[in-house]
Amino acid sequence: MVGTVGNVAARSLEDVNEPSAVTEHPYYHPLPGTAWEAVDEAEDLLGAQAPLVTLANWQEDPHHAWSFQHMRELMPSQVIDGTDDPRPLAEATGEVGGIPLPETPWAPTVDSLLAATETDAFLVVHRGTIVQERYHAGMNRRRRHLLMSVTKSVVSAVAGSLTGSGLLDPDAPVETYVPELARCGYAGASVRTVLDMRSGVKFSEAYLDPDSEVRVMERSMGWAPRNHGDPLGMYPYILTTTAARPHDGVFDYRSIETDVLGWICERAAGRRMADLIADLVWRPIGAFHDAEIAADPLGCAVHDGGMSATLRDLGRFGLMLLDHGLVGERQVIPAGWVTDAAYPPADVRAAFAASTNEPYLPGGWYRSQFWFVPGDAGPILLCLGIHGQMVFVEWSTGLVGVKFSSWPTPQNADKLVATIGAFRAIGRACPTLSWRCPDACGPDLTGCPEGVS
């Protein structure tokens, strides 16, 4: 047994849906006859610029650590505008590194956990005040980091906003918004089906199998070099899907569901995703820095994991979720969008319990592109991305946590469960710790000026 959430063991994800064969490029197999077949030989031409990081190897260790902070140099990107009037964030100095983690013997304190989990940046916000902020591996307040599938939760916020304005009906068939979906495996699914990842399409999310559907889709969207016969673009790939079982059954985490959802949102609003995020989410939450989202060869945003953002702005996104969609006096997304996900219908929990994810996040569920696990006094919301990206929101303690990481492998149950446990331990400990404002406002932070950055 390698990890627990609650009192139930969580097994390692490394042997789930991952082939045993070792390949030169575990994420990408160039076909003979393509220019990419000999791409590694080009490194000799670079001299001082080596090592060579390209679409063929950017997800591999150790290149991924650099790539996650430089996505705009690897793929076309679209700007998501921030605001000149950002949400102020109060700051306090304190130390959470010594908080013990008794359930993680290989990382017995928060400090050791951060060191053992390839942390690039780390943020803790307690009841609206930043109490811990760290940067490693070249990260800083201005630098964007790839969110991976945390992007899915941002797209969910767009869907929630469109639902609140009457432009999107979660119960409508997907064909209502994208008629082309009637001729592929998504025919007959509803918007809710893809929001909760319960479609019956044939699609494997086996990250280390270069021939799995998720890797073919990534090649189609330009996340890796295209091979002969790959569709050109994400939406053309979606239209090649076929059905493997009825819709609305077991929960099955597949990135393509978010790409379908993003397509639906764009059609419902008549606008591209980068602008929808900027106008409906990013500026309304008071994000200071522009974010970016990678785009495929057709100029379509990679809805399932292509967004890059700064640490503090992702913390602002978490604060919006903590306050049930409210930022100041503005309801950015309907409160019901968050509460429905946190307290879902019984079949949502049953669909998760029957899935392969139950052993790793026991008692959890997935709703509207958010993960949930039970906490000490209510649910904990999680936005998760491979290689260790996380937003942690716990209403009972008022804690928002953000972690950027560069795990060497896409999935690691030990590190996932331990990171969740660390944020829970911080939330429990915060009321007993003393924080001091850097402007000497006193330990209770009374009258603390709010620093903006």
Query: Within the chain, which residues score under 70 in pLDDT?
Result: 1-25, 48-50, 434-453
Q: Position of tokens 């409508």?
A: 172
Instruction: Name the β-bridge partners of 385.
Output: 389
Q: Is residue 444 part of a domain?
A: no
Longest dimension (CA), the chain: 68
Q: Is residue 323 part of a domain?
A: yes
What is the H or E stretch that residue 260 is in? helix 256-269
Can you give the pLDDT at residue 45?
83
Can you give the pLDDT at residue 94?
80
Work out how many domains the chain is built from and give that number.
1
Cα–Cα distance between 105 and 98 in angstroms, integer? 14
Can you give the pLDDT at residue 60?
92
Domain that holds residue 118: 3-16+80-432
CA distance readout (Å), 216 to 115, 220, 297, 305, 453: 34, 6, 14, 15, 40
**Closest C-alpha among 449, 326, 387, 446 to residue 145:** 387
Long-range contacts of 277-281 (CB under 8 A, 24+ apart): 277/80, 277/154, 277/155, 277/158, 277/307, 278/79, 278/80, 278/81, 280/157, 280/158, 280/161, 280/162, 280/332, 281/154, 281/157, 281/158, 281/161, 281/317, 281/332, 281/333
Q: Is residue 84 part of a domain?
A: yes
CATH number reported for the structural domain that contains residue 138 in this entry = 3.40.710.10
Q: Is residue 69 part of a domain?
A: no
Which entry of 149, 156, 220, 308 is annotated as an active-site residue?
A: 149
Can you give the pLDDT at residue 437?
58
Q: Is residue 399 part of a domain?
A: yes
| Whether the Cβ atoms of residue 124 and residue 132 lie closer than 8 Å to each other | yes
Cα–Cα distance between 18 and 212 in angstroms, integer? 10
Cα–Cα distance between 126 and 410 in angstroms, integer? 29
Q: Is 153 annotated in the active site? A: no
